[in-house]
Amino acid sequence: MKIRPLNDRLLVKRLAEEEKTAGGIIIPDSAKEKPAEGEVAAVGPGKVDDSGKRIALQVAVGDKVLFSKYGGTDVKLDGEDFLIMREDDILGIIE
């Protein structure tokens, strides 16, 4: 993959959605919601403040994150779906 996010942007790959409910009912593709969880694939160098100093991001490549439902921009790279989003769209890191 040849992409490097700029400033405080991240490249996130969505995690796979569950195929069945807890009761064992199989969910068809048309009824599935897009998951709001993903794994960080690439990060930018960080945001620049008013004085010109770069502020490092709090997330790193490989972190599993929870993000806002409508956050980010869908992109397709090498046949895979990713999201490019700002660090502000990340709600938390899943540990």
pLDDT digits (tens, 9 = 90+) for 50-67: 898 989 888 999 999 998
pLDDT at 39: 92
Among the four given CATH numbers 2.30.33.40, 2.60.40.2700, 3.40.710.10, 2.60.40.10, the one describing domain 9-16+28-94? 2.30.33.40
Return the domain boundaries, the chain. Answer: 9-16+28-94
- The residue type of 60 is A
Task: Give the H or E element holding residue 37.
Answer: strand 37-43
Considering the entire predicted model, what is its pTM? 0.74
Q: What is the pLDDT of residue 62?
A: 92
Q: How far is CA 92 from the centre of its chain?
A: 11
Q: pLDDT tens across 21-45, in order?
A: 566 676 665 555 566 889 999 999 8
> Which pLDDT band holds residue 85 (cuts at 50, 70, 90)?
very high
Residue 19 confidence (pLDDT): 60
Cα 75 to Cα 17: distance, rounded to the nearest angstrom: 18
